[in-house]
Each structure stands twice: as structure tokens, then as C-alpha cells.
């Protein structure tokens, strides 16, 4: 099976999942998730100032980046997307979501 066919198969059956942070979580809880994820294997360079995903520069946006990076890097080892209730799985690509300034 080609990579394109695999992608279509995963997309069609909802097997592509992203870990995002819940928008109803407190800023403090989201920050704890960022701190944990970035300290435990997430690649957080992109959300540092001048990073490719620094903007939008909000705690919820940075939280979702960090949580998803951690989840994608560690799910084969049994990692979940809970983060003490701040994380949730979605099959909608969050990179296509409108930002508050574009909503």
C-alpha cells in the first residue's frame, strides 16, 4: 500500500488523531500540561518565540501543540491524551482551525 493510500485509509476511517487541549480548562492547568509535555518528550521548539508555531501566542494554542507533540511521540509506548483532564482526542486537524483573530 502506498503512503497516499494509507493516509486516505486512515483519514476515511477517522484513525488520524490529534491530541488537543480543552478550551474549558483553566490557564493554570493548561500551563501545567505544557510544562509536563515539553519536559517529557514533546518537541516544543516550534512554540518558542520565533518558532514556526509561536503564533497564535496563547496558552491554549501552545498547550495543544505541546500535548499533541507529546502524544504523537509517545502513543506507541502507551501514552494517552488525558493530561489530568486537560487533553482530548480529535479527528479534526487542529492546524485547520480558525484562530481567534480569524474566527
Q: Which residues of 58-75 are buried (b: 16+ CB within 10 A; e: fewer)?
A: ebbbbbbbbbbbbbbeee
Asked if the model's pLDDT at residue 52 lies above 50, the reply is yes
What phi and psi, each to the nearest 5 degrees, are found at residue 88?
-150, 150
State the cell numbers at 46.
516550534
Q: Is residue 3 part of a domain?
A: no
Task: State how many domains the chain has.
Answer: 1
The per-residue DSSP string of 71-101 comes to HHHHGGGT--S-GGGTEEEESS-GGGSPPTT
Residue-number span of the structural domain to which 84 is assigned: 18-93
Q: Judge whether 72 lies within some domain.
A: yes
The proportion of the chain whose per-residue pLDDT surpasses 70, expressed as a percent, equals 79
Does residue 39 fall inside a structural domain? yes
Over residues 72-78, the mean pLDDT reads 95
Does 4 map to a domain? Answer: no
| Residue 83 included in any domain | yes
What pTM, to 2 d.p., does this model score?
0.79
Q: How confident is the model at residue 97 (pLDDT cuts 50, 70, 90)?
A: low
Amino acid at each position: 500500500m502506498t503512503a497516499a493510500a494509507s493516509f486516505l485509509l486512515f483519514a476515511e476511517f477517522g484513525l488520524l488523531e490529534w491530541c488537543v487541549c480543552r478550551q474549558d480548562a483553566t490557564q493554570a492547568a493548561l500551563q501545567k500540561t505544557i510544562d509536563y509535555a515539553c519536559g517529557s518528550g514533546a518537541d516544543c521548539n516550534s512554540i518558542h518565540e520565533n518558532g514556526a508555531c509561536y503564533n497564535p501566542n496563547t496558552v491554549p494554542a501552545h498547550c495543544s501543540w505541546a500535548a499533541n507533540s507529546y502524544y504523537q511521540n509517545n502513543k506507541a509506548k502507551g501514552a494517552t491524551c488525558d493530561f489530568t483532564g486537560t487533553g482530548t482526542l480529535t479527528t479534526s486537524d487542529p492546524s485547520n482551525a480558525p484562530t481567534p483573530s480569524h474566527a
